[in-house]
Amino acid sequence: ASEAEEKDLVIIGGGVAGYVAAIKAGQSGLKVACIEKRGALGGTCLNVGCIPSKSLLNNSHLYHQILHDTKHRGIEVGEVKVNLQAMMQAKDTSVAGLTKGVEFLFKKNNVEYIKGTGAFQDEHTIAVNLIDGGETTVRGKNILIATGSEATPFPGLTIDEKKVITSTGAIAMQEVPKKMVVIGGGIIGLEMGSVWSRLGSEVTVVEFLGQIGGPGMDAEVAKQTQKILQKQGMKFKLNTKVTKGDAEGEGVTINTEAAKGGKEELLDADVVLCAIGRRPYTNGLGLENIGLETDDRGRLIIDQEYRTKIQHIRAIGDVTFGPMLAHKAEEEAVAAIEYLTKGYGHVNYGAIPSVMYTHPEVAWVGQNEQELKSAGVKYKVGSFPFSANSRAKTNLDTLGFVKMLSDAETDRILGIHIVGPNAGEMIAEGVLAIEYGASSEDVARTSHAHPTLSEAFKEAAMATYDKAIHY
Ligand code: FAD
Ligand code: NAI
């Protein structure tokens, strides 16, 4: 970037939030530059998050299925082995293809890609420490902060990404650890715990709360999911907190205690995965140079149009409020650019799905039963088990259920919770239903192809206002 040139928009961070905003801005005819320090576009999601974890989840599931789930299907297999190096290679190939793809889209949409670390010099000027050496500055009429998040460290345990790891170490291990302790039974703990458990590790998940799944998961779904994962070999210690850890010497020792105090226990492991949540990342961004502050959880404070108190500086994605999800970041990116170019934008925060890519998958949108109860909302429940669904039966994949919650008076759908095969794809229908303000009867009276898993969705809807046919 030349020092004199002023862009319409400078974006700091090339993750999902930043890169989608950059493409949208380019498409809208803005002169736009995107600064990214990692040396590859796509941020956490493409490089060390969504994509590599799903590659490992998919391939470890295939392995696990070949080991344990073929005989009764009439398939006999010989010796089955994991080649971890090749599995990691497959993951890296997927990641590289996608990050390069984003770079191509930048070129296609006239986005200038600046490889380096950006920091505010003043309200319109970003100083960039270039990856290839040297420095430059870039000026923007508008600036978008999309610097994402990082793993919250566990106090007293130093992350080395070998023995004491975050998700970043968990997607890159060179060998299968014999014993693995996971601190935190949220989405990362369960997804990465699943991967290594399937590949042969003895995995124990320590969770502070009385249920797994992290924030938002329906309690009934969490309970059933826990049972299923236990059957697959994972161990759980709920209502238990980790008080400290010791990684000196060989292996790691973890001290746990009942969440309410009292019962103490020592766990030893070869590897400890810290998965207690993520926190916004604004290190080195120079916020102090422009007087921007974050809240008590490190989030940049914004208004409904994603503006900070400095009106031409916006923030979206993990660095600000809301669920730390790639598709949420993507929605905000489009909306933020529309606010900038048209003056209006739209994100429906009540219709953002969550998916956990274990097997079976867990997916939900809207409110769960705990939330509705504590808000005093009167609601109806319709459930349908996959064990009564013809396609799940033919696939010999019948664990789980679909649960629909709708308003007791109006029948408007308030929440949908699924644990079961393909839940992550199926939830899209639920998101659309909620987005369109559908009632459970609307869904129930919509024809669903037979035999498909999505008939379980339709029948759960039928059961919400009337009765299911097949159960
Ligand atoms: P990020 O993706 O973190 O991107 C921010 C970028 O900004 C980074 O690349 C960083 O290098 C760069 N940056 C920071 N500071 C500077 C600076 N000063 N100068 C230049 N560049 C800077 N979400 C889902 O929806 N589905 C999933 O399946 C899923 N799986 C996940 C699995 C794991 C293991 C993890 C950790 C996360 C997962 N997530 C998933 C969450 C998802 O990755 C995030 O919500 C998403 O990446 C947020 O996008 P973002 O652009 O806000 O931030
Ligand atoms: P999380 O917030 O989902 O779960 C953290 C869990 O750790 C909670 O259940 C919490 O009660 C527990 N915990 C906290 N401190 C603890 C302690 N001291 N001892 C024991 N348990 C403790 O966070 P996680 O799993 O780290 O994931 C971070 C974020 O990344 C997610 O919230 C999600 O936004 C995103 N993500 C999304 C994925 C997806 O969409 N499939 C996959 C992976 C991550």
Question: Considering the chain, what is the average pLDDT of its residues?
Answer: 97
Q: Please give the distance, rounded to the nearest whole angstrom, from the Cα atom of residue 43 to the centre of ligand 1.
A: 5
- CA pair distance 401, 406, nearest whole angstrom: 16
Computed over its alpha carbons, how large is the radius of gyration of the chain? 24
Sole residue written with tokens 């949220």: 186
Mutate to test the pocket of ligand 2, among 46, 171, 188 (most ligand atoms within 8 A of CB): 188
The first and second tokens of residue 20, run together, are 């989608």
Q: How many other C-beta atoms can be found within 10 angstroms of the C-beta atom of residue 428?
A: 14
Minimal-distance CA residue to ligand 2 atom 7: 184
| Cα within 13 Å of Cα(13), Cβ side | 31
**How far is ligand 2, taken at its centre, from the CA of residue 58, in Å?**
20
Q: Whose CA is nearest to atom 33 of ligand 1?
A: 49
Burial class (CB in 10 A: 0-12, 13-18, 19+), 20: buried
Closest CA to 424 of 462, 471, 457: 457
Cβ proximity of 269 and 289 under 8 Å: no
Q: Return the ligand 1 atom nearest residue 18 CA.
A: 51
Residue ranges in the chain modelled with pLDDT below 50? 1-2
Contact yes or no for 363/216 (Cβ under 8 A): no
The sheet with strand 401-407 has its strands ordered as 354-356, 361-366, 413-420, 401-407, 379-385
Q: What is the pLDDT of residue 3?
A: 52
**Contact indicator for 9, 111 with CB cutoff of 8 Å:** no
> Tokens standing for 74?
């009439």
- At 401, give phi and psi (nearest 5°): -160, 165
Query: Model confidence over 240-251: pLDDT tens digits?
Result: 999 999 999 899
Per the annotation, does 324 bind a ligand? yes
Separation CA 5–CA 11 (nearest Å): 15
* Whole-number pLDDT of residue 4: 54
Q: How far is the CA of 39 from the centre of ligand 1 (A)?
A: 14
Give the span between the Cα atoms of 300 and 295, in whole angstroms.
7
Specify the pTM.
0.98
> Is 188 annotated for ligand binding?
yes
Atom of ligand 2 nearest to the CA of 323: 34
Tell me what pLDDT residue 202 has.
Answer: 98
Q: How far is the CA of 371 from the centre of ligand 1 (A)?
A: 28
Residues designated as active site? 450
Q: With 0-12 CB in 10 A as exposed, 13-18 as middle and 19+ as buried, what is 118?
A: buried
What does each C-alpha distance from 118 to 44, 204, 295, 301, 314 come to in angstroms? 17, 40, 21, 20, 15
Report the residue among 187, 190, 264, 320 best suited for mutation to probe ligand 2: largest number of ligand atoms under 8 A from its CB: 187
Q: Are 277 and 243 in contact (CB under 8 A)?
A: no
115 in contact with ligand 2, CB cutoff 6 A: no
Residues contacting 403, CB < 8 A, separation 6+: 218, 220, 221, 381, 382, 383, 416, 417, 418, 460
Residue 1: predicted pLDDT:
45
The predicted-structure confidence for 104-125, as pLDDT tens digits, reads as follows 999 999 999 999 999 999 999 9
> Going by C-beta distance under 8 Å and a sequence separation of 6 or more, which residues neighbour residue 321?
299, 302
* Closest ligand 2 atom to Cα of 186: 4
CA gap 466, 442 in Å, rounded: 12
- At 249 the pLDDT is 87
Give the N- to C-terminal CA distance of the chain in Å, as an integer: 64
- CA-angle at 222, arms to 217 and 226, nearest 5°: 145
Dihedrals phi, psi of 271, to nearest 5 degrees? -140, 140
Our measurement of the distance from residue 8's CA atom to the centroid of its chain's CA atoms, rounded to an integer in Å, reads: 31
